[in-house]
Chain A
Amino acid sequence: MVEITGLVKVYPDTRALDGIDLTIDSGKIYGLLGPNGSGKSTLLKCIAGLLRPDQGQIKVFGQRPGRVTKAKVAYLPEIDYLYRWMTIGEIINFVAAMYPDWREDKVDELLKNMNLTKEQKINSLSKGMRARLKLVIAMARETELVLLDEPLSGLDPSSRGKIVDMILSEFRSERQSVILSTHEVGETENLYDEVIFLDKGTIRIMDQAEKLRQNHGLSINDLFREVFL
């Protein structure tokens, strides 16, 4: 699904990614874990085609990230990237017109589950509601790869719970992969099939979540604390 070899991404003042080798397989949820500034967002942006590698290469469904792969990848950035003057219905119509894999039948159900209505204005939504809307937009597509960048960042426990439940319920394990980046591991611990610990642009640990728990005798959350704190 995704093949990354020797990926290097350099910003003017820092080396954000430093020789990443990674393979993402179908049917799994990957936890991309690391502290702030570890390169999680940069890696997801590279896969989404919003950043270009300085060295190395990325193949998404066998192709370099670009217009073709963007049609097959659902990307949810950490920041609020929706037009705030639109209503939920307007942004849904806007995004639906852009993606051929949009599931019109699914949207109403997802909105209802997230306690959102199409008439609401985006600029009147709370941070938690906007985060839930972003997730609805990402999950309402029939994509094989979903990239979620810090979907729980700065949210209240109720919104966090709803988001985790939705990721779990909407994940189509037979043909989809989800890469979820976060530095708040506790609530997402049980989602992961595979875990990648990213530190200063390099992969520090990468293995199956269950294997890591057995080998270290710790939960992923405790292992994260041990490695990074």
Chain B
Amino acid sequence: MKAFWQLLRKELLAQRWAVGILLGLSFVWHLLLYSKIGIWYPQAILSLGLIPFFFIHLWILWISIQVYRTEWAEDTAYLLLSLPVSSWLITGVKLLTVVLYTCFSLLVIAASYFTFFRGEIISAIQPYLMYLETGWYKRDLINIGLILFIFFVGSIMLIHFSYICSRMVNRLRGLVLIWVFLLSNWVCSQLANLIEPLLNWLPTFGVDLPYVEFGNLMLREYRIPSSPFVSYILVVFGLFALGNWLWEKQIELA
């Protein structure tokens, strides 16, 4: 357990400036937009305020690679690979670091957004507040959030797998990383499709998605089978396990 906490502390501290840059830029952007309240259209300010939420996708991609790349760039891979600890511990902690920092960043950016533009947000959603009061979103937000979280963690696992694969070649590592990432996504979809029929017995779950019709907010329930998600998780987990095996048995430091 001591090894886990030391590795986690090391990862969190090593990447802290990357989070600082993201949150700093986001704060400055929101501050700039805040100064334009009353000058620009409220809808434009609210829309532009969402930019950090889109930018965070690129940031996740970057930091997912960064947690591994820095180990080689700073030669600390020698220390990491000579430790007598399971590859699962090392890769798991790196995955956890990206997940924790992403969740933290999303929360801070969301808090910043709602703090700066609270008045504009309330005005924009005023017509729909009575629907929100019905509480329909509570269950659905959890379900939708869970689906997004699965794909988010799965994507990070595939990036990490791709990076480990790229360390097995001596040249064109960036190209190999991109190629393996694209290929692994394709493999995931193909294998998940193969496995899915075997998991048809798994329950479906409902999501009420809102839509606006003639100015009224309506809800429509969609029944979603859980088997595609479970099969996706299994395949991603399989590739992540393969990455761990490669880390322990194939990665070399020439």
B14 within 8 A of A: yes
B222 within 8 A of A: no
Q: Please tell me if the beta carbons of A83 and B14 are within 8 angstroms of each other in the complex.
A: yes
Chain B residues near A12 (CB-CB < 8 A): 170
Tell which of A51, A79, A80, A94 touches B10, judged by Cβ atoms closer than 8 Å.
Answer: A94
Task: Tell me, rounded to whole Å, the shortest Cβ–Cβ distance linking B166 to chain A.
Answer: 16
A218 within 8 A of B: no
A65-121 with Cβ < 8 A to chain B: 66-68, 70-71, 75, 77, 79-86, 93-95, 97-99
B195-254 with Cβ < 8 A to chain A: 248-250, 252-254
A-B interface pairs (CB < 8 A), number: 64
A-B contacts, 29 of them at CB < 8 A, read: A11-B254, A12-B170, A45-B254, A48-B82, A50-B81, A50-B82, A50-B253, A51-B253, A66-B249, A67-B84, A67-B86, A68-B84, A70-B82, A70-B84, A71-B84, A75-B82, A77-B78, A80-B75, A81-B76, A83-B10, A83-B79, A84-B74, A85-B14, A95-B79, A97-B3, A97-B5, A98-B83, A98-B84, A99-B84
Residue ID in chain B nearest A77 by CB atoms: B78
Q: How far is the CA of A86 from the CA of B11 in the complex (A)?
A: 12
B129 within 8 A of A: no
Q: Which residue of A45, A80, A85, A98 has the most chain B CB atoms within 10 A of its CB atom?
A: A98
What class of interface size applies to chain B in its complex with A? 20 to 34
Question: Which residues does B use to contact A, with CB under 8 Å?
Answer: 2-3, 5-6, 10, 13-14, 74-79, 81-86, 170, 248-250, 252-254
15 more CB-based (< 8 A) A-B contacts, given A66-B249, A70-B84: A42-B254, A50-B252, A51-B254, A52-B250, A52-B252, A67-B84, A71-B84, A75-B82, A79-B78, A81-B75, A83-B76, A85-B14, A94-B6, A98-B3, A98-B6
Contact of A97 with B2 at beta-carbon distance under 8 Å, contacts A12-B170, A81-B75 already known = yes
Chain B residues near A128 (CB-CB < 8 A): none
Q: How far is the CA of A97 from the CA of B249 in the complex (A)?
A: 23
- How many A residues touch B, CB cutoff 8 Å? 30
Tell which of A48, A82, A99 touches B76, judged by Cβ atoms closer than 8 Å.
Answer: A82
A151 within 8 A of B: no
Residue ID in chain B nearest A137 by CB atoms: B79
A34 within 8 A of B: no
Tell which of A51, A52, A83, A98 touches B74, judged by Cβ atoms closer than 8 Å.
Answer: A83
Task: Tell me, rounded to whole Å, the shortest Cβ–Cβ distance linking B86 to chain A.
Answer: 7
Chain B residues near A11 (CB-CB < 8 A): 254
Chain A residues near B75 (CB-CB < 8 A): 79-81
Task: Tell me, rounded to whole Å, the shortest Cβ–Cβ distance linking A61 to chain B.
Answer: 13
Task: Tell me, rounded to whole Å, the shortest Cβ–Cβ distance linking B165 to chain A.
Answer: 16
Chain A residues near B254 (CB-CB < 8 A): 11, 42, 45, 51
Task: Tell me, rounded to whole Å, the shortest Cβ–Cβ distance linking A139 to chain B.
Answer: 15
Chain B residues near A77 (CB-CB < 8 A): 78
A49 within 8 A of B: yes
Q: How far is the CA of A52 from the CA of B249 in the complex (A)?
A: 9
Residue ID in chain A nearest B16 by CB atoms: A85
A30-50 with Cβ < 8 A to chain B: 42, 45, 48-50
Task: Tell me, rounded to whole Å, the shortest Cβ–Cβ distance linking A144 to chain B.
Answer: 14
